[in-house]
Amino acid sequence: MRTSVILLTLLVMPSVAFAHSGTVFKAVMNYLPMLAVSIPLFIKPITKAVRNCYARLKVKMFKR
């Protein structure tokens, strides 16, 4: 048990130091332009699928 606690502490310490040094913020800021470009690429197929589902439901409702 004591060995696992020491091992866990040794594994967590670098991540805590990484998080508090500000490099996580810098890394996230580097990915923002890529995210801004990729969001429309993901939204378009989703909205198209929603429109198709809505159109199918609309047709089924008016067939009755």
Strand, coil or helix: what is 21? coil
Q: Quick one: pLDDT at residue 7?
A: 77
Provide mean pLDDT across the span 39-61. Answer: 86
Count CB neighbours of 40 within 10 A: 8
Dump pLDDT digits (tens) for 1-29.
677 888 777 777 766 666 667 776 777 77
User: Higher confidence at residue 43 or residue 37?
Assistant: 43
What is the structure's pLDDT at 62?
74
DSSP 27-41: HHHHHHHHHHHHHHH
What is the predicted pLDDT for the residue at 48?
93
Domain limits, the chain: 2-63
